[in-house]
Amino acid sequence: MKNILIAENAGFCFGVKRAMNMAWNELDKTDNVSIYALGPLIHNSQAVAKYEERGMVTVATIEDIEKIEADKSISGKPINNSKEMIIRSHGVSKTVYDEAKEKNIPIIDTTCPFVRKIHYLANKCYEDGKQLIVIGDKNHPEIIGINGWSSHSAIIAKNLEEIKNISFESNKEYFIVAQTTMNEKEFDAIISHIRSLNIRVEVENTICSATRVRQESARDLAQRVELMIVIGGRHSSNTQKLVKICQDTVDTFSIETKDDLDKDLLSKYNTIGITAGASTPDWIIDDVIGFLSEL
Ligand code: SF4
């Protein structure tokens, strides 16, 4: 029988839980309203599928909503009286709010309050004439949203190498924020490099405490087991950071659901640790625990 240990902080964080509840409540209470999500609600296809079965429609842009609504009227399909658009916990840029308002689409705003705070800082930095630097992945929706609050003028760098390629100017004031799921150690290394450059810089560590605690408990558990299993979406940034943290210490499997587990590969491990990304629902974690318990 396997010895299974679960990380103290695994699975849905406060922001994702809040967003999922808000979206579900909206689906529950609204009749005759088409509910659109601007982008997958979370980076977990199984959880998103549950919401779509309940009636939510995932779209990539506001134009997609307009097209779907227009197609309904052409095809003679029943048209709901109104529509709403969910903004997910990653947040979006200011232009999305403006466009929705202009097109008369009510918003269900599930932006995580921690991300909302970065929007405020980015906007203030822009208005104060400072140069915003965002430490994070330029393709991640959270970073695209943050950049939009500084009129898309931010310098975005994901690691120390990219920071070293920036030509800092002595007459500029810089303001630094981090992607909420950034690895704390990498961020510290970047900041100590920047501080050594003798430029005018202000730093706001915006790494979310939920991320920090989850990463610490994964690192701690990885030291006590023979194998770590990290459960979460392949496109989930915070999940992939957990994978990297665990891999630095011990053999690690990155999976989305229990179906990705291979009994033969598991056979050589007796003590197995489990952690999960911020967008992994409890029922997927329970499924994995159930599968391992049966071995
Ligand atoms: S990881 Fe942190 S910032 Fe991101 S949604 Fe969760 S609580 Fe909010």
* Angstrom distance (rounded) from CA 156 to CA 176: 10
Residues of the chain with CATH 3.40.1010.20: 3-12+210-293, 113-207
Atom 7 in ligand 1: which residue has the minimum CA distance? Answer: 15
pLDDT in tens, 216-251: 999 999 999 999 999 998 888 889 989 999 999 999
Reading the block at residue 31, the tokens are: 């009749």
Q: Which pLDDT does position 6 carry in this prediction?
A: 96
Atom of ligand 1 nearest to the CA of 19: 5
Residue of the CA atom closest to atom 6 of ligand 1 = 15
| Architecture field, domain 14-109 | 3-Layer(aba) Sandwich (3.40)
Q: Where in the chain is the domain with CATH 3.40.50.11270?
A: 14-109
Q: Residue 84 catalytic?
A: no
What letter represents residue 126's amino acid? Y
CATH class of 3-12+210-293: alpha beta
Give mean pLDDT, residues 150-169.
Answer: 95
> How does pLDDT run across 25-78, given as a tens digit for each residue?
999 887 778 999 999 998 888 889 999 999 999 999 999 999 998 887 666 555
Q: Which atom of ligand 1 is least distant from the CA of 181?
A: 1
CB neighbour class for 113 (10 Å; exposed up to 12, middle 13-18, buried from 19): exposed
**CATH no. of 113-207:** 3.40.1010.20
Could you identify the atom of ligand 1 that is nearest to the CA of residue 114? 3
Q: At how many degrees (to 10) do helices 113-127 and 141-148 cross?
A: 40
Residues 6+ apart with CB under 8 A from 236: 42, 43, 44, 277, 278, 279, 280
CB-based contact 80:34 (threshold 8 Å): yes
Give the whole-angstrom CA distance, residue 125 versus residue 22.
30
The catalytic position among 142, 169, 184, 186 is 142
User: At a CB cut-off of 8 Å and minimum separation 6, what does 19 contact?
Assistant: 41, 42, 88, 89, 110, 112
Per-residue DSSP letters for 207-276? --HHHHHHHHHHHHHHTT-SEEEEES-TT-HHHHHHHHHHHTTSEEEEESSGGG--HHHHTT-SEEEEEE
Q: Supply the mean pLDDT for the chain.
A: 92
